[in-house]
Amino acid sequence: MANPTQISPSSMRTATTSAGKRKKRVSFAPSPEVTTALSMSSFFARPLPLYLSAALLRMVFLLYGLWQDANSPLKYTDIDYLVFTDAARFVAQGESPYARETYRYTPVLAWLLLPTTWDASVWFSSGKVLFAAADLVAGWLIERVLVSGDGGQGTPMEVATARKYACIWLLNPMVATISTRGSSEGLLGVLVMALLSAVLARRVALAGLLLGFGVHFKIYPFIYAPAIVWWMDRERIGSPASRDKLGVSGPETLFGRIVGFVTPARVQLAAISLATFLGLNAAMFMLYDSPFLQHTFLHHITRIDHRHNFSPYNTQLYLASAFPDLSAVRIESVAFLPQLALSCLLIPLVLGKKDLPTAMLAQTFTFVTFNKVCTSQYFLWYMVLLPLYLPQSSFIKNKALGISALALWVASQGMWLQQGYELEFLGKSTFLPGLWIASLAFFLVNCWVLGIIISDVS
Amino acid sequence: MRERITFIQKLGDSLEPSALKVTGSGISGPEVRAVREDRLTLALDELPTELHTLLKGVHELHIRWVSPIAFETVSPLLARLPPGLHLFYTPGRTSDTTTSDNLCPALVKTFGNIACLTPAESFTALQNDRFSHSTTFQYFQPLESLSHFFSYAKGQLCPASDSSCATRLDSLTQASSLDVSYDTISHTLKITALWPYQRQAIQATARSQIRTEVGVLSSEIPPSIEPHELGISGLLTVLGQDSKPSATMFTFPSRHRDAQSGFSTKFLEPTGLHPTLQIQLDSNRPPSDDSYCSAHAYFTLPRGVFADKYQLADDLFLASKNLTALRYISQPVDLEAPEYVMKQWGSAVLLELSPPPSSEKAQPWTAEIPLHLRYLSPAQGGYANIEVPYPAVFWACAAEEGTLFPNNPFERVNLGYDGLFGPRTVFWHVDPHPQQQQQQQQQQEQKGSVVRATNTIRVPVLDLDKAQWVNVVTAITVLLGFGWVAWKLFSVYSRSGHQRVVSSEPNKDKKWQ
């Protein structure tokens, strides 16, 4: 059971205080600010200080966690990590990872964590080290994408400035906490960033591999496929000759458009990602049979998510699951419509070609906001893309807007957490109206923020 | 068909033979403080056809009901179980599944409101390889009374001519526990009822075609007794056959003994969705100095509440709750499903407790059991109650090498926990002494002056009284959010289309290479 109360929204705070470009302009003026500005820019001038601090931050958290686990009955380590490592132990004994109840992931994750089963107890934490390392790589990829200036509408960014934005991810205590507690979401972060940078670098085969693997790993990255495919038009990827032939003077018939849409790059991406996804699934199915299908994929279709979470549908689903015959429409089967219409169709269509990273951010934000289940771990999914959007965002340009958005996001979430606390720990029946209203309010705030993100793309 | 009626008094309370009046029609005597146990043994062909057919496909079946109202009992009738209806079942060795298919409907017919669909769906399996002497399946559910069973039995078992049969069944409504046991080895059905330790008159009536033996007994410690034995002495009479009671005294090794201490349990407030059950024990002194003993609590948890075996795996966490280890938990336990979709009865849990080191003087101590609630069905008012039966609490001590426990006249096997221990284990039972709780005081006003061996948790659920707008308002809100985002997308599209707005600065677009 995911516990949404564990994570503080501190990353947003970091986002608004790291004031990117403004610091550069004052660097000639001899004022008290200069010293901080200088030391700030010298911190970001070379890669070592930032990445070393990010690594140190995680190391401190990791060691603190070891200490807390050894000395307190309240554990720092996430329950999910115990699930992963138990599954890895089953694999090490030649059994199926699905022998561990509630293991709902690809066997690849258990394989990656095989070192945690090695004899010496220090190895037990190796999975956390892996997740933390994935954080750092994701941060480095953020920096690279910002520097290339490829994705967004922005021009290539100076490395030091790029690092300032990357530190929203790298030095974010929430991100560091989640990975050092042993949650695998950090791996998703690096996968998605690697996918994005492979696409922007026009490495189609690599992008296909990453997309196929990402979907196999956690399903949701499939939403990126339409945006990436849409983005990959002949103007961006294709030989100059074919561009001249079709792009400039081709007749605007429907057939012509369809033929024009099917580019070699698009076909290659579709083929490779599909082959990777299906190949991995076929291999896993051969190894672990139906438990693999059941726990990795089918579970997400059949699960009854009654436990309270941030999703606006939660109260309705609780009602519907208890009285399945009463509701005229099956909410479970209708709820995905607005979610997928926005995140897989409309956002990719309108934003994909204009600004791929922001489109992907909006897609992820929509997917999480409109999902039937929403816990704070899911916020990490869009947080990794935030540094790519923030430089040109209204939230940075208009401080008042930025602060009020953050305040509303925090307040509505806080309202929900307070109601959740009363339910979970005090046993008060806050399902109605408290939790329900709070989740709807949080949903509306998220939609409002989403609207601003979309409007920022021009 | 034969019957055995036993009154058992405490040590030192014995009755002179002259106090008993034996006549051709029965036996009577003064009021004594005693436990009464009646056991009726029936051959298979003496049963109604329906029951006969059902039992033919059974290898072993034990149905045990224990009253939720706290009661006192005496040695050697100490083998405690959590209150409720327990069922232990091993199907016959044939491939014919008729009995298993018919078992649940038969239970519903006999005991009333039994939430059992089929053995495969509702029962939990006991691992037979490990615990060779346990049954294959287990089932449990809280059950307030056997009133449904009695009205069923009156219709099925009592001949219309025999009014004494109905009278006997009526007296059973005062019993604190009832066992119905059948196994293919003895080919007999044993029905055993127990009335708690209380003042009651010695009285039994002879019935035709039934051999009735009446014992008026008390605990005894003869000089020759071995440490692992119990002693019993008293008077035995076979009704209609003996003209006066004959004195008897015997000793036997007993698996179930009296630890001579008590315990109570309560939920720590606030209970929330993760209630902690606290067991308060009077004494941390093991009952036997000569052998290795460890304290245990055995729970049968209804499906609304469960223990998480993964949480109970960390030594540091266990130690902080005065627990040693989770010794057994029936499998599987779904950690996520709401109560209303569960088909399995619930779960059985055996925990070893960790008493503080014992000193000269016995000290009270506590252990805490972390539990978790499932979501319950929405209800009016926003709360629903779950009643959790008291556990059986005992010290399990290793008997001396070579000790055998042949069946004694008061033996009770297949209790759920006995099969989880080795054959040379002695169970020293700690007596449940429920404290009156606030909730119980409220219930008392309705149910008379009784103390229940259960704890009630008030579980927050979705309040149906406030639910009428949920569907409409949720749908409107989602559409509002959707509309807003779609509108923003449309504005972007109508402003600048879906293509990239190429920057006015030349040579910035390095894609054209």
Full pLDDT tens readout for chain A, 458 residues: 344 434 343 333 333 333 333 333 333 334 444 445 555 667 888 888 899 999 999 999 999 999 998 888 778 988 889 999 999 999 999 889 998 888 888 999 999 999 988 877 788 899 999 999 999 999 999 999 988 876 555 577 888 888 989 999 999 998 999 999 998 888 999 999 999 999 988 889 999 999 999 999 988 999 999 999 988 887 777 655 554 444 444 556 777 777 778 888 888 899 999 999 999 989 988 888 888 888 887 877 776 666 888 999 999 889 888 887 766 667 777 888 999 999 999 999 998 888 899 999 999 999 999 998 898 888 989 999 999 998 888 998 899 999 999 999 999 999 999 999 999 989 999 998 999 999 999 999 999 999 999 998 87
Q: Does B472 touch chain A (CB under 8 A)?
A: no
CB contact under 8 A, A444 and B314: no
Q: How far is A156 from chain B (nearest CA, A)?
A: 9
Q: Rounded to an integer, what distance in angstroms lies between the CA atom of residue A411 and that of residue B174?
A: 59
Q: Which residue of A has its CA nearest to B461?
A: A429
A104 in contact with B, Cβ within 8 Å: no
Of A312, A316, A346, the CB nearest to B489: A346
Q: Are A243 and A221 in contact (CB under 8 A)?
A: no
Contact map slice: B 175-194 vs A, CB within 8 A: none
- Please name the residue that has the structure tokens 């601090």: A53
| Helix ranges, A46-158 (H) | 47-71, 79-92, 107-112, 126-148
Whether A338 contacts chain B with CB within 8 A: yes
Distance (Å) from the C-alpha of residue B442 to the closest C-alpha of chain A? Answer: 20
Q: Is B338 on the interface with A (CB under 8 A)?
A: yes
Put simply, the answer to whether B484 touches A327 (Cβ < 8 Å) is no
**Which residues of chain A does B504 touch, with a Cβ-Cβ cutoff of 8 Å?**
none
Q: Does A313 touch chain B (CB under 8 A)?
A: yes
Q: Which amino acid would we find at residue B265?
A: T
Which tokens belong to A348?
């990719």
Q: Looking at beta carbons, which residues of chain B come within 8 Å of A315? A: 462, 470, 474
Interface membership of A425 toward B (CB under 8 Å): yes
Find how far residue B198's CA is from the centre of its chain. Answer: 23
B458 interfacial to chain A (CB closer than 8 Å)? yes
Per-residue confidence (pLDDT) for residue B14, from 0 to 100: 82
> Under an 8 A CB cutoff, do B272 and A425 touch?
yes
User: Does A278 contact chain B (CB < 8 Å)?
Assistant: no
Candidates B463, B495, B511; nearest CB to A236 = B511
Residues A111 and A117: beta-carbon distance below 8 Å: no
Q: CA of A307: which chain B residue's CA is closest?
A: B375
Q: Residue B218 in contact with residue B11, Cβ under 8 Å? A: yes
- Using the Cβ of B462 and the Cβ atoms of chain A, whether some distance falls under 8 Å is answered with yes
- Name the residue facing B477 among A312, A341, A426 (closest C-beta): A312
> Is residue B341 within 8 angstroms of chain A, CB to CB?
yes
Q: Which long-range contacts (CB under 8 A, 24 or more apart) does B121-127 make?
A: B121/B343, B121/B344, B122/B343, B122/B344, B122/B345, B123/B87, B123/B89, B123/B344, B123/B345, B124/B330, B124/B331, B124/B344, B124/B345, B124/B347, B124/B348, B125/B330, B125/B331, B126/B330, B126/B419
CA angle, A378 as apex, A376 and A379 as ends, to 5°?
70
A158 touching B (Cβ < 8 Å): no
- Burial call B15-49: b when 16+ CB within 10 Å, e when fewer: beeeebebeeebbebeebebbbbbbbbbeeeebee
Give the pLDDT confidence of A251-308 residue by residue, as tens digits: 567 777 777 788 888 888 999 999 999 999 899 888 888 888 888 878 777 766 668 8
CB contact (8 A) between residue B316 and residue A313: no
Q: Residue A431 is nearest to which of B462, B479, B486, comparing CB atoms?
A: B462
Could you list the beta-strand ranges (E) of B127-220. 137-141, 177-183, 188-205, 211-220
**Per-residue DSSP letter, A295:** I
The CA distances from residue B398 to A435, B129, B294, B423, in Å, are 53, 22, 9, 9
Whether chain B has a CB inside 8 Å of the CB on A145: the answer is: no
Alpha helices in B362-512 (DSSP H): 438-447, 470-496
- Cβ distance B488 to A454 less than 8 Å, yes or no, reads yes
> Using one digit for the tens of pLDDT, what is the confidence trace for A430-448?
998 999 999 999 999 999 9
Q: What pLDDT is recorded for position B306?
A: 94
Best A429, A443, A456 member to test B by mutation, with max B CBs in 10 Å, is A429
Q: Do B481 and A436 touch (CB under 8 A)?
A: no
A241 touches chain B (CB under 8 A): no
Q: Which residues of A touch B489 (CB under 8 A)?
A: 342, 346-347, 350-351, 454
**Secondary structure class of B318 (helix, strand, coil):** helix
Interface of B with A in 365-424 (CB under 8 A): 375, 377-378, 382-383
With CA atoms as reference, the chain A residue closest to B311 would be: A79
Establish whether this prediction's ipTM goes over 0.90: no
CB A76 within 8 A of CB A68: yes
What is the spatial distance between Cα B267 and Cα B438, in angstroms, rounded to a whole number?
12
* Closest CB to B493 among A350, A429, A440: A350
Per-residue pLDDT of chain B (513 residues; tens, 9 = 90+): 899 999 999 988 888 888 888 888 888 889 999 999 999 998 888 888 878 888 888 888 999 999 999 999 988 888 999 999 999 988 887 767 777 888 888 889 888 888 888 888 899 888 665 555 678 889 999 999 998 988 888 887 777 777 777 888 888 888 999 999 998 888 889 999 999 999 999 988 888 788 899 999 998 888 888 878 888 999 999 988 888 889 998 888 888 999 889 999 999 988 989 999 999 999 998 888 878 899 999 999 999 999 998 889 888 889 989 999 999 998 888 888 899 988 999 999 999 999 998 777 889 999 999 999 999 999 999 999 999 999 999 999 988 766 777 777 888 888 889 888 888 889 999 999 987 655 555 555 555 567 899 999 999 999 999 988 888 899 999 999 999 999 999 998 888 877 776 554 444 343 433
**Beta carbons of A369 and B481 less than 8 Å apart:** yes
Q: Does A341 touch chain B (CB under 8 A)?
A: yes
Are B272 and A427 within 8 A, CB to CB? Answer: yes
The structure's pTM equals 0.85
User: Which among B462, B480, B488 has CB closest to A432?
Assistant: B462
| Nearest CB to B378 within list A79, A319, A341 | A319
Distance between CA A293 and CA A213 in Å, rounded? 16
